[in-house]
Structure 1
Amino acid sequence: MAFQCQRDCYMKEFVTSVVSCCPAELKQEVNGKKETIKGFHIKLQDTILFPEGGGQPDDHGFLGDVPVLRVTRQGPDALHFVASPLEVGQEVHVKVDWERRFDHMQQHSGQHLITALAETMFGYKTTSWELGRQRSTIELDTPCVKPGQLQELEECVNEKIRAHIPVMVQLLSIDDPAVEKVRSRGLPEDHAGPIRIIDIEGIDANMCCGTHVSNLGHLQVIKLLGTEKGKKNKTNLIFLAGKRVLKYAEKSYNTERSLVSLLKTGPDEHVEAVDKLQKSVKLLQKTNLCLLRDMAVLIAQSFKNDPHKDSFFTFHKKEGDNEFMNIIANEINTEETLVFLTVGEEKGPGLFLLAGPSELVTEMGPQVLELLQGKGAGKNGRFQGKANSLARRGEVEALLKQRCNQRNSQEE
């Protein structure tokens, strides 16, 4: 059977009745974490909410006042996941999230059009596609698409849109000879009912369960953003259709305005201005690195030349890296001196290095790690790593100094 959403993709509201209501669970990702929601699967007599399939995500909407969080297909039925139960037999008013639905219709019909013309014009067959949240991707069975071909394809696609070519839906029985003439990647194993054909007049006829526009003019416009290398010697073609193109243009324009303000140049000079900035930054980083190395040597020499130096040396600097700390440690005779160095925010995350007599470093390293809430490892008289917090750095210094004094007393 074809659902009402497949018979009339433009229907936004519908009245039907509840056939069954069963407890169910839904796994969703919330703020990057997977959560399991307890609820109910509702089967309806018919539905205008599309269950995911054919590369198209499911619809969202309402059953009365109850939000529908997910719609999936089970054989000939659509399962609507909701948080609260509905009574079997009751009449319900179904409403679709039209903005989401129409967006999916534009992207899906856009994919059919691009796929058909890419094959007709260049012989590039589509092996799969993905309707993403922000952009969609068509996997083409070719190692590459030339820039000239991409431009030619985009021009042809938009020419067909401007021609307002009709898009029709046909329902054929599985044994109808006409089924053999349409493009298809095969039917799902649990398929039931008639075969649904999406026919773009004079361009393409393809088996598909998804929702589509009734005329290519409803696509408004298609933008081919470019290609990326795909799997197994294939190419991913990235595209936007309809309202997504308008949103992309608005976002790009706002970005352009921000860059004009930041770079103090017109849009045509942005690439050149950023290139100059990058070269300046690299030069400054190189200069800064040289200064840090020189500073590290001076810090170590200052300690070595101090007539009142003892067997423990500690130093902290907000700016620095592992190389900065290692240069200091290399310049100091760590066979006789215990060195504790840190770089980073005073009470925030940072890096640390403990260097000195091997047995002392092996003994004190794990304690330093614990106090700094860090991760690290050591060997050959060095113990270094990352600190989640340098807030207890003073405690580490006091502990190390006390241990050095004890060691000195034992040796005397």
Structure 2
Amino acid sequence: MENLLYYVDSTIQQFSAQILHSGNDGRNYVVLSNTAFYPTGGGQPHDTGWLNDVEVVDVEKVDGEIRHYINGKLTLDEVTGKLNWQRRFDHMQQHTGQHILTAAFVELFGFATTSFHLGTGFVSIDLDTATITEEQLQQAEARANEIILENRPIETKWVTKDELAAYNLRKEVAVDEDIRLVIIPDYDYNGCGGTHPTSTGQVSLLKIMTTEKMKKQIRVHFVCGQRVLHELAMRKTVLTDVARQLSVPEEQAATALQKVMETAKATDKTLAEAQETLLQYEAQELLANAQQHIITAHFENRPIQTLQKLTRFITEQDTTAIALLTANNANKLQFVAARGQNVTVSMKNVANSVLPILNGKGGGNDALAQGGGEQTLAGAELLAHMVNALKQ
């Protein structure tokens, strides 16, 4: 394995090789005499690029051979491989940043990393700790960037299992042969099969973005290198737009937004109180026009939650009343049936009697039931069926 081009020199961007054989396992692939294309493994995604002018879309190690999956076919025996270097270098920055940050958490707090994920957005590590403070995150980030700024060399070395004892490894190596160490002298010694730049300075910068609790561990999301600039540019655009809309300088945007939110919450509360008052008056009006304590009404585009409130106000104001309300909402005909505390007729039975007409679903109890379904009839017709159900 140590003779593979991506291990011999991780900075190789173009190479020549012979096609040993080709095949199709659902996708066309070729196997080369040697390759600089890194196959998916160890948490690092595969490289992409081109063989001659044919696109390489995936690289996997299958049955001991490295398969280059291609969009098309290759007819020549010899090919020139060219890596999508932007993708590869990004992966090297993120992967090396992970080594550096992981080592920082171990060095400062003894928090081991249990898993690592390198995606197209944030990179993440899971730390073997149930809690972490903002101060600890800041200290680990500062230590990681200190190592990056020092531009320490990154060395790789192939060793045997017996030679491992000579190194202060961050964690045990999971393989017995083809053991490859990635070393940042006097800082981090780790078994790894991924690709890395030749010095820590090439990682450029590391920024922790967010954390989340994962059972008894903490997942830390971060970015390195060019991804930091992308995140900064995105946040700058958003912040500038927010500040513009609030008519304040960017550094005052957070305070101004908080005031807007507080005002909005107060307005929402006042509006909700006003709506409740209006519903109380509406309940009084419906009761005034009721016959035999049965209140019926149909509405257009009125949420079922509002109907439930209205029936509650009706039955609170008149404990001998029965409120039957319907509404057309989107493509559904919905209803609510409620009774005052001095009424014994079951509203659940009323709902069960009309739901089949609507091909609908509903629920509730003897005091309050609701449901809805297809608009198979007009609201007034549904109310008539509900009134008839009271007599059954």
Number of the residue aligned with 1:289:
272
Number of the residue aligned with 1:28:
none
Q: Deviation digits for residues 183-207 of structure 1, max 9, x if unmatched? A: 2645556x7x632221223322221
Correspondences of 1:274-285 after superposition (within 5 Å): 274-285=257-268
Does residue 261 (structure 1) correspond to residue 251 (structure 2)? The answer is: no
CA distance in 2, matches of 1:367, 1:402: 12
Does residue 23 (structure 1) correspond to residue 40 (structure 2)? The answer is: no
Among residues 138, 150, 154, which one is paired with 1:151 in the alignment? Answer: 138
CA distance in 2, matches of 1:275, 1:386: 40
Among residues 296, 309, 313, which one is paired with 1:327 in the alignment? Answer: 309
Number of the residue aligned with 1:224:
208
Among residues 156, 161, 175, which one is paired with 2:148 in the alignment? Answer: 161
1:103–1:355 distance in 2 versus 1, CA, 3 Å: same
Correspondences of 1:365-384 after superposition (within 5 Å): 365-370=355-360, 376-380=362-366, 382-384=368-370
Q: TM-score when scaled to structure 1?
A: 0.78
Deviation at residue 378 of structure 1 after TM alignment? 4.5
SS of alignment partner, residue 48 of structure 1? coil
CA distance in 2, matches of 1:90, 1:124: 51
Q: TM-score when scaled to structure 2?
A: 0.81
SS of alignment partner, residue 69 of structure 1? strand
SS of alignment partner, residue 43 of structure 2? coil
SS of alignment partner, residue 93 of structure 1? strand
Number of the residue aligned with 1:44:
32
Number of the residue aligned with 1:239:
222
1:125–1:360 distance in 2 versus 1, CA, 3 Å: closer
1:69–1:91 distance in 2 versus 1, CA, 3 Å: same
1:398–1:230 distance in 2 versus 1, CA, 3 Å: closer
Stretches of structure 1 that go unaligned for 5 or more consecutive residues are 25-37
Deviation at residue 320 of structure 1 after TM alignment? 4.9
- Asked if the contact 2:30/2:68 (under 8 Å) is kept, the reply is yes
CA distance in 1, matches of 2:256, 2:116: 37
Stretches of structure 2 that go unaligned for 5 or more consecutive residues are 339-346
Correspondences of 1:55-70 after superposition (within 5 Å): 55-70=43-58
Residue 163 of structure 1 aligns with an amino acid whose one-letter code is E
Number of the residue aligned with 1:135:
122
Does residue 252 (structure 1) correspond to residue 235 (structure 2)? The answer is: yes
Does residue 342 (structure 1) correspond to residue 327 (structure 2)? The answer is: yes
Number of the residue aligned with 2:169:
183
Number of the residue aligned with 1:397:
379
1:231–1:336 distance in 2 versus 1, CA, 3 Å: closer
Does residue 78 (structure 1) correspond to residue 66 (structure 2)? The answer is: yes
Identity %: 26
Number of the residue aligned with 2:94:
107
Which stretch of structure 1 is more off in the superposition, 95-104 or 399-408? Answer: 399-408
CA distance in 2, matches of 1:159, 1:307: 78
Does residue 362 (structure 1) correspond to residue 352 (structure 2)? The answer is: yes
1:22–1:394 distance in 2 versus 1, CA, 3 Å: same
Residue 124 of structure 1 aligns with an amino acid whose one-letter code is F
SS of alignment partner, residue 27 of structure 2? strand
Which stretch of structure 1 is more off in the superposition, 269-278 or 204-213? Answer: 269-278
CA distance in 2, matches of 1:406, 1:125: 70
Which stretch of structure 1 is more off in the superposition, 178-187 or 275-284? Answer: 178-187
SS of alignment partner, residue 207 of structure 2? strand
1:326–1:145 distance in 2 versus 1, CA, 3 Å: closer
Deviation at residue 104 of structure 1 after TM alignment? 0.8
Deviation at residue 401 of structure 1 after TM alignment? 5.0
Number of the residue aligned with 2:335:
353
Number of the residue aligned with 1:33:
none
- Asked if the contact 2:348/2:363 (under 8 Å) is kept, the reply is no
- Asked if the contact 2:211/2:220 (under 8 Å) is kept, the reply is yes
SS of alignment partner, residue 279 of structure 1? helix
Number of the residue aligned with 2:254:
271
Number of residues of Structure 1 aligned to a counterpart in Structure 2: 380
Residue 139 of structure 1 aligns with an amino acid whose one-letter code is D
CA distance in 2, matches of 1:272, 1:386: 45
Among residues 157, 166, 171, which one is paired with 1:170 in the alignment? Answer: 157
Deviation at residue 383 of structure 1 after TM alignment? 4.4
CA distance in 1, matches of 2:150, 2:213: 32
SS of alignment partner, residue 262 of structure 2? helix
Number of the residue aligned with 1:29:
none
CA distance in 2, matches of 1:361, 1:175: 74
CA distance in 1, matches of 2:353, 2:54: 63
Residue 102 of structure 2 aligns with an amino acid whose one-letter code is T
SS of alignment partner, residue 121 of structure 2? coil
Deviation at residue 240 of structure 1 after TM alignment? 1.6
CA distance in 1, matches of 2:141, 2:387: 77
Which stretch of structure 1 is more off in the superposition, 286-295 or 73-82? Answer: 73-82
RMSD (Å) for aligned C-alpha atoms: 3.5
SS of alignment partner, residue 35 of structure 2? coil
Residue 253 of structure 1 aligns with an amino acid whose one-letter code is K
